[in-house]
Structure 1
Amino acid sequence: MPLSEHEQRMLEQMERALYAEDPKFASALEGSGLRTYTRRRVYQAVAGFLLGIALLMAGMVAQQIWVSVVGFLVMLGCAVLAVTSWRKVPKPGEHPADGAHFRRQGRPRRSMMERIEQRWQRRRDEQQGGM
């Protein structure tokens, strides 16, 4: 359930106060958990990729095609996981893109559907006010 405008403003005020009171603590909290989690997933994907290479080679040596195919699929899946996880890692000092954290640029990013709904609501309000 999305936050109301009032709740978003209150959250931004609390985050600003936290940044003003203890900027070092606030910057330590802002993305380290996500960064650690995604970095760990990348490392797991690399380990899985190496396991896939081992399966591929073992299948070739044992002349078992299905083992080689499984190894290739493991390699492919782990490569996709590593690339998608790596793209999600926030840079140090950068805010995650989910809009829940304070942004120095101002208001949080909204999805396209939220913007369309707001425009629709504004038009409806204008039409009702003009009657």
Structure 2
Amino acid sequence: KTGVSPEVITFLTQKVIDMGLAPAELTPSVMEREEAAPTSFGHYTAIPHPMTPLTDKTFWAICTLEKPIIWGEKKVQFVCLLCVEKENAKDLKGMYRLLGELVHNVKFIQHLIACDTFEDMLDIMYKKAPSYKN
């Protein structure tokens, strides 16, 4: 049992699948990964991802929840589905550095959760990490 509402994972993965960015096996792969170990990191953040890379591009799919849920044993309100491209030859250090900053900065997460639009969220992220614009 994952200890996380599968509805959140299904919602995010299905959006990505519907956009043609990932194959249908994304959802079961992310659920399998969660069963291995929850991807909640504290500070209201979870970064679910598939067991193995399944997409042609690297990207995030982000959602915020109106109220925190228990994910594993931690409260989560900011969910960032991480999809890394199958044939990854790019240096992803900048992206992982930004994710690390997200996970460890509760005030930053609170700012993102409070955003009304995705554009507002991107603006906050770019101000936080101006060197990473990919």
TM bin, normalised by shorter chain, reads under 0.3
Query: Quick check: which one's helix share is greater?
Result: 1
| Higher Cα radius of gyration | 1
